[in-house]
Each structure stands twice: as C-alpha cells, then as structure tokens.
Amino acid sequence: MRTLADSLFMPSVQSGCSPLRKIVPWQRWGQRGGIDFNRATLESRDHLILADNLTLLEFLPDSCVDLIYIDPPFATGKRRESPQGDDGPDGFEDSWDNPDEFVAWLAPRLTHLWRILSESGSIIIHLDTRAVHNVRVWCDENFGQSNWENEIIWHYTGGGRSRKRFSRKHDVLLWYSKSPKRIFNIDAIREPYEPTSGYAKGGIVSKKGKKYMPHPDGKPADDVWDIPIVNPMSSERTPYPTQKPLRLIKRIVAALSSEGQVVMDAFSGSGTTALACRNLGRRFICCDDNPDAIGITLERLHEKNHDTQQPAVVSYGMYRMMYADDHIALKLASRLVSEGLRIQADEPPAIIRPSWSDSNNPPFPLNAGDAIVDIRSLLL
C-alpha cells in the first residue's frame, strides 16, 4: 500500500526504482521519472515549470522555442507584493537599485534565451524607464544591433497623476529577432480605422491614378500601443502583483509566432502568457520560482475552460507534498534529503505554504493542505 511518503517520492524516482534510490532533481508532478525538454516534448504538451529560470535555461537545448516574452523585475529597488497584502499570494524581490547590478543578474538569462531561440524566432523584453536603456545597450552588444527590430511603447492610463513631472504612463518592449526569417504577422493585429478617416470611407487615389482601398481588417499597428492596464475591478484581475493585460500579450503572440509554435515566458507570474497561448493555439513553456504563480496559472486556465489538456507541471528542487501538515512536511522533507538525495544537511529544508494550501477551492489539480519543500540550495 502506498504511504504519504510515497506520494513525495513517486513523482521523482526513475521508473522501477525504489523510493530510497537517488531521485532526479527534475520531477514531473504526478508521474515517475525526470523529463527531457527536447523540441518534440515542447511541441507535444504545454509546460509550467516551478524553478529558478536560469536553472531551466541551462537545461534547455538550442533552438527549441519560437517566441520568448519576458517581463522580469524592473529594478524598482523594493519587493513587489500582492495587492491583497498578506491575504494574497507571495510576491517577489525587485530590490535592485543599481542598473549595472540588475543587468549583470539578467545577462546570463538573456544569453541562454538567445541560444534557445529558433532561427525564425523573436524575443520581447518588457521593462520600464528605470533600466531599459542599460538592457538595450547590452542586447545591442550581444544580440547585434542588426537584430533589433522595434522599441514598442505600451501606453496606458489609470492610477495617480504627478504634479511634479509628466506622469509616467508607459512601459517599453524591446523586440529583437534571431534572423531576417523571423515571423511577423502584421495582419493578425490590425486595428480599426479612426471614425473620421477619409481613407477608411473611400480609399485614396495616387497622383498616377492608382486607387488604394482600406484593408477590411483595419490599419497596421505601429510601435505605440494604447492598451489599458488590468482594472482592479476587472474579471481578468488576479491577486498576483504586476499582472499584464491579456490583450497586450495576445497581440505579441499573434504578431510574432504562428499556430502550433512554442512560446516561452521565463518570468510567467500570473500566467497571462499561458492563457494567451491557449487562446491562440500555441504551445507554452512558462517558468516561475513562486509556487503561487503556478497555482494562479492553473486556476486561470481552469476558469476559462482552457484545461482540456492539463499542462505538465515540472519542478526542480521543489517537491510537492499533498495533504501534509507542518510536522509531516518537515519530517518528509528531511527524509527526502537524507534518503532520497543522500545529502548530509546541517539545517532542515525550507517548507513553503502556497496560497492554495489554505484555499476552500484550490485550483485543479492541486489540493488544500499541499506543502512545497524547497531544497534548491542543497543541489548547488
């Protein structure tokens, strides 16, 4: 008969091995054995990854994804917390106040992201005014200025207004492509013509007499995008900090990838990229090192009926323990370290209580009472 301890070890051991045999650091929740992130694997199923993204990126093969969108910390110099405070999901650190230190932290991640990008692929780096110029200098030097395509301005309204300066109401999206063969679907993101547009009503005639008629789907988008932020009262709103609007991410995915291609978000947060990909028929691999981010993403996919095929949830150094109170969680975590990994640790492993642990309606397929044991520091 399986015990509670088996539920910890079973997803992690190779097929046919005893739970006391050394386990693999990469585990797919609910199945035995590790996982190989090759191109065929990524094209066959969606993936949610609970891990430090650098650990994942070092593991991924070359040219395995077709579009990368990242929304990393903005170097705000403070921790970002849920708008719900202590009642919401755990936030994340954004404590850099030195742009050079921020770029040094981001650089190895960007290097691997460029490596795993396919020849027809693009990368979008979403930042604000604090560090975008520093990051762009690095990208020009390492990606090549010839691969820079656009500096897209996302303009939004909402929030307070400054009386000391012009209100800062835009973010910057840096677009770099891997080669001239990159995907660009301009017709997928056309916008309606202005109601007063004479061209929209009857077209125009050139000096040579050639008549140009308006496109039935509207005008091509330019590099300034007016898209509202997610209203606090919107049904789209989640309790996760720094959530980006679905409309924004869908525009990026639609324009820079094709149906069936693989899209990566290495700082997935509230899961908007995963939702956009499900809406548009793309595969996704979304990574975050916060268990609450994984839970919120699963919940959003389930609420929108986009969970007909559950994404594979894979983690590195963080193991899910079902229905485990603090005493049992610590006991099992210690056994995992000593017997599963055969590591002599001076201190007990860290136990994380994700927000769904206390929920009356946890996101499928998670359970109230779940705990996460974090042993990443022991795997270094």
H/E segment holding residue 295: helix 291-303
99 plus 110 within the same structural domain: yes
- Residue 214 CB-density burial (10 A; 0-12 exposed, 13-18 middle, 19+ buried): middle
- Per residue in 44-85, pLDDT (tens digit) is 999 999 999 999 999 899 999 999 999 998 666 565 555 555
CA-nearest of 116, 172, 128, 112 to 148 is 172
CA 12/CA 30 separation, integer angstroms: 9
24 Cβ partners below 8 Å, 6+ apart?
Answer: 12, 13, 14, 33, 34
The total number of structural domains that make up the chain: 3
Residues 334 and 280 in one domain: no
Tell me: do 30 and 115 sit in the same domain: yes
Report the CATH number at residue 304. 3.40.50.150
pLDDT at 217 over 70: yes
Most confident region among 52-66, 310-324, 354-368 by mean pLDDT: 52-66
| Distance in angstroms (rounded) separating the CA atoms of residues 229 and 280 | 21
- The closest alpha carbon to 167, from 177, 179, 176, 158, belongs to 158
Residue 33, pLDDT > 80, answer no
pLDDT for residue 4: 33
Say yes or no: 17 and 112 in one domain: no
Percent of the chain with pLDDT over 90: 45
Locate 174 and state its tokens.
Answer: 């840096």
Does residue 179 share a domain with residue 278? yes
Give the closest residue to 314 by CA, choosing from 27, 116, 58.
27
Q: Is the pLDDT of residue 313 over 70?
A: yes
Environment class of 122 (CB within 10 Å of its CB; exposed 0-12, middle 13-18, buried 19+): buried
Q: Do 325 and 285 sit in the same domain of this protein?
A: no
One domain, residues 203 and 55: no
Q: Are residues 69 and 208 in the same domain?
A: no
Q: Do 71 and 156 fall within a single domain?
A: yes
Confidence of residue 181 (pLDDT cuts 50, 70, 90): very high
Q: Is 16 a residue whose pLDDT tops 60?
A: no
pLDDT of 23 = 52
From 199, 219, 239, the end of a domain falls on 219
- pLDDT tier, 11 (very low <50, low <70, confident <90, very high otherwise): very low
Same structural domain, 175 and 196: no
Nearest to 67 by CA among 275, 243, 282: 282
The owner of tokens 């903005």 is: 74
**For residue 170, with 0-12 CB atoms within 10 Å meaning exposed, 13-18 middle and 19 or more buried, which class applies?**
middle
49 lies in the same domain as 125: yes
Domain span at residue 359 reads 1-24+318-380
CA distance 233 to 247: 16
Q: Specify whether 291 is located in the same domain as 328.
A: no
Task: Give the residue from 261, 282, 316 where a domain finishes.
Answer: 316
Which residue type does 297 have?
A: T
Candidate from 174-183, 252-261, 262-271, 340-349 with smallest mean pLDDT: 340-349
Q: How far is CA 266 from CA 54, 79, 366, in A?
A: 9, 19, 22
Between the alpha carbon of residue 56 and those of residues 230, 261, 264, the distances in Å are 29, 19, 11
